[in-house]
Structure 1
Amino acid sequence: MSFEFPFRVYVEDTDMGGIVYYVNYLKFFERARTELLRAVGIEQFGLQQQGVLFVVHDVQCRYLQSAKLDDELIVEVEIQRISGARICFSQRALRASDNTLLCTAEVVVVSVSAQTMKPVRLTSDLIEKIKDFTV
C-alpha cells in the first residue's frame, strides 16, 4: 500500500521560469515521509525526545518531467524494505491533473542515536506501525 500526500506548487518552489527547482522534489519527498509517520502516530519530535533521529543515508533521484507554478502534485511513499536500523523508501511525484510521473526517488533512512550519531535498531513498535506501507 502506498501513502499519498498532496502538494501545490508555490512561487517559492520554482525558478525564474516557473518550473519547480530540482532540489525541491527532495523537500516534497521529505515532507511526505514525515506525514506518513505522523499518519501512523509517529512524531519526529517524540523520537528526538527519546534520543532517536532519522537521517538520510542515500538518495537516488530521477527527474522525468517538470512541475510548474500552481500545479497540484501527489507524492506517493512506499516502503521497499525495513532492516535493522534502515528503512528504504520508494517515492514518486505525480501531477494530480493527469497522473504524469514527474520524479522518482529511492531514499534510505537510518535510525541513529541523537547523542552518538551511531545506528540504532528500529523498535518493533515502529516497524509494526509502518509495515502496512511495505511493498
Structure 2
Amino acid sequence: MTSLDLRVYIEDTDAGGIVYHANYLNYLERGRTEWLRDKGFDQHSLFERNIALVVRRLECQYRLPARLDDYVTVETRAGAPRQYTVAFEQQIMRHGKLLFRGMVDIACIDATGYKPARWPEDLLSAMTLDSQNA
C-alpha cells in the first residue's frame, strides 16, 4: 500500500467549499501515480516501453465531504493482477475517517496500437507483492 497526503485547495472545491465530486478522481489518479513511483516506475519509463495504463472501469462511493483546507490521505493498494488488468483499491481518509472509496480497474495496453498488452514482468511482480501484503 502507498499513502499520499494532499491539501484541499480552493481550485478543488465548489462554491460551498466542498471538494467537487470529479476532483476525487484526480486524487485517485495521483495516488496511483505515486503507487507506481513507490514501486520504482513512472509513466515516462512505461511509455518508453510502449506501455500505457488506462482506466477500464471505475466504481465510487462518496461517504463524507472533504472541504477547503482539509488535509487528506489517499491510500492505494493493488489487487491481484489478471492477464491485462488489475483492480486498485483506493480510499481517501481525513484523520482516520473514510471520506471516499474507489475501485479502479486499470488495463495495460500497447501505447501505439491501443490493444491489450501483458504486464511487464517487473510491474507484475510489484503488483503481486502489493496484493499479497494486503
- The answer as to whether partners of 1:37 and 1:130 remain within 8 angstroms in 2 is no
AA at the equivalent of 2:88: F
* Per-residue deviation, 1:129: 2.4
Deviation at 1:11, TM superposition (A): 0.4
The answer to whether 1:104 aligns with 2:107 is no
1:133 maps to amino acid: D
Q: Which runs of 5+ in 1 are unaligned?
A: none
Report the counterpart of residue 35 of structure 1 in structure 2.
Answer: 34
Q: What TM-score results when the alignment is normalised by the length of structure 2?
A: 0.94
Structure 2 segments unaligned to the other structure (5+ residues) = none
Aligned-residue sequence identity (percent) comes to: 36
Q: Deviations over 1:13-65 (max 9, x none)?
A: 00001000011111000100000101111111111111110000000001010
Q: TM-score, normalized by length of structure 1?
A: 0.94
Match of 1:119 among 116, 121, 132: 116
CA distance in 2, matches of 1:70, 1:7: 10
Q: Which stretches of structure 1, 4 residues or longer, exceed 6 Å deviation after superposition?
A: none
Q: Report the counterpart of residue 3 of structure 2 in structure 1.
A: 4
Q: Which amino acid in structure 2 is aligned with residue 6 of structure 1?
A: D
Q: Is 2:61 the counterpart of 1:25?
A: no
Aligned residue pair count = 132
| Equivalent-residue separation in structure 1 for 2:23 and 2:80 (angstroms) | 25
Give 3-state SS (helix, strand or coil) of 1:73's partner: strand
The Cα RMSD (Å) is 1.0
CA contact (8 A) 1:3 1:133 kept: no
